[in-house]
Homo-oligomer: A and B are copies of this chain.
Amino acid sequence: MDPHLLRTFVAVARCGSFSEAARELGYTQSAVSQHIAALESDLGAVLLRRRPVSATAVGTRLLEHAGPLLLRLDAARADIARLTAAPASRIVIGASPLAMTPQLTGTLADMRQTQPLLGVTVRVLGREAITHKVATAALDLGLVDGMAAPNDPLHLPDVGPLTALAVTEQPLAVALPAQHPLAGRTSLRLTDLADARWIDAPDTAIPLAQLRTAGGTDGYRASLRYEGTDVRGLVVLSATGHGLALLPQPTIDGIPGISAVLISAPRLIHRTEVLHSNAVDGPPALLAAALLAATQ
C-alpha cells in the first residue's frame, strides 16, 4: 500500500481512465496499469472494473481510506516544511462566509496597524476546504464557523495536529420571511421546523445534514440547493420565500423582509474557531492570539 500506488488509484478512479490519470500524474499508461495491478495483487482484491473504468465495492471502500490518508501525508510534509522554512511576510487567511464578522475583521485591521508591512490575503471558502488547506499549508490561518452545543468544539475533520480555538459563540436563528406565520415568534424549537422547506447551503449556512444529525430525524428537506459562499444571496433567497436557513442571529437581525427567530431547543449555538498549525511564533500564531484576545 505505497502512497504512490494509492495516489494513482484515486486519480484513476476520479478520471475514470488509466490513460487520463497517467497524463495527470506524468506517468505512462503502462506505469499506471502496473500500479493498479500491484495494489490489487497486494490487497488480493479487484479494485476497478475496466472498460468502462469504475470502482468495485472494495475499491470504493479503499477510496474512503485513501483520501484522508493522502491528505494527512501532504499535511505532514507541509507542516515539517513550515517548521523548517523562514516565516513568510505574507499571510493568507481562509474564512468560511459566516466567520467574517465585523468583530473579526476589526481585529485584523488593528493588527495591520501594528504590522503594516504584512501582506494579507483573505479567501472565502467552504469549511472543509479551509481545514484541508490549513493542514497542507495552503492557508496560514483559518476562520471556520459551524453549529455545536454550547462550549463544545466544532466537529472538524481530523487532518493532523492543528490548533482550534473558539473565537465567538452566537445564538442560532432561523431566517424566516417576514410574512411567514411563525415570523412573529421570539423563539422556536428546531424540531418544529423539521417539516418546513429549507435551503441547503452547505458552504454558507449550517448544512442540513447536520440538522438531521442533531435532531435525530430525516426531516429538513431541501427545496433549493445553494452552492457558493455568498451570505447576501442566501438571505435574499430566504426573504423571497425559497426556504429557511439556519444562521447566527446577528447576521440576519435587522435585515428588511427577514425575521430572525431564535432557536430555543435543542441547545445549540453558532461558533467560530481560529484554526492554525500550532506553531508558537510567526505571524499566523500572533494573529490567532490577537483574534482570541480581542474576543474574550
**Inter-chain contact B79/A61, CB cutoff 8 Å:** yes
Residues of A within 8 A of B (CB): 1-3, 43-45, 57-58, 61-62, 64-66, 68-69, 72-73, 75-77, 79-81, 83-84, 149-153, 155, 157-158, 160-161, 213-214, 216, 266-267
Chain B residue, CB-CB nearest to A61: B83
Whose C-beta in chain B lies nearest to the C-beta of A85? B44
Shortest distance between the CB of A280 and any CB in chain B (Å): 10
27 pairs of residues in contact across A and B, judged by CB atoms under 8 Å? A1-B73, A1-B76, A1-B77, A43-B84, A44-B84, A45-B80, A45-B83, A58-B84, A61-B80, A61-B161, A62-B76, A62-B80, A64-B160, A65-B72, A65-B75, A65-B76, A65-B160, A66-B76, A69-B69, A69-B73, A72-B72, A150-B266, A151-B216, A152-B152, A153-B155, A158-B158, A267-B267
Q: Which residue of B lies closest to A158 (CB)?
A: B158
A73 CB to nearest B CB, Å: 6
Main secondary structure of the interface of A (DSSP, over half): helix
Contacts of A151 in B (CB 8 A): 214, 216, 266
Q: Which residues of B contact A266 (CB under 8 A)?
A: 150-151
